[in-house]
Amino acid sequence: MSKTAVKKLHWRSKVLDSFVPLLGSSGELGVSIGGGADYGEFPFVTSAPGGGLTVGDVILEIGGTPVLGMTLGDVRGVLNSCPHPIRIKTVAPGSSLCKDLRLYLSKCFTPGSVDSQLQQVIRENLYLRAVPCESLLLSVPSLHFMSLWSSTW
């Protein structure tokens, strides 16, 4: 008796493309976001009063800019700098693409696959925005450097 494997659709086939307009005369955006690399999460929708977005959806792109691996502040900056209506690509979180950024980056994927390429985009965004680029020696005045040595040695 043969077993029939049920093949689940890849998360990429479930990506939704939505346009978020400004709400009424107040000029507020029709979406709120949370998460971000500074919280170890993918950016996700926290409220969506209207449109095709769903609370909890992972945000892949805003206005054509990949935002996975960006801090929450950087994602908000991209969101606020886009022309209106804002085009947002989202996907519902699932077993292969959940909100946990660390879990997704720790997985092994086939080189060249969609997931492998996405991991590369995430790492590039993390390195550009979250990893400090100055060394401690360059940012600390020599007086403080000397006091560290003289007090303990």
CATH of the domain at 148: 2.30.42.10
**What is the pTM (predicted TM-score) of this model?**
0.76
Tell me phi and psi for residue 116, to 5 degrees: -65, -40
4 domain-assigned: no
Is residue 2 included in any domain, yes or no? no
Residue 3 in domain: no
5 assigned to some structural domain: no
User: Residue 76 is part of which domain span?
Assistant: 12-152
| Nearest one of 94, 89, 70, 79 to 18, comparing CA atoms | 89
Residue 38 lies in a domain: yes
Check if the beta carbon of residue 18 is closer than 8 Å to that of residue 39.
Answer: no
| Helix, strand, coil percent values for the chain (each to nearest 5) | 35, 20, 40
For the record, the structure tokens of 149 come out as 């040595």
**Residue 7 counted as domain residue:** no
In this structure, is residue 53 part of a structural domain? yes
Number of domains in the chain: 1
pLDDT by 10s per residue, the chain, length 153: 444 555 577 888 889 998 887 776 656 777 889 999 988 899 999 988 766 788 999 999 999 999 998 999 999 999 888 888 889 999 998 878 888 888 888 888 889 998 899 899 988 888 886 655 555 554 544 444 433 344 444
Residue type, 73: G
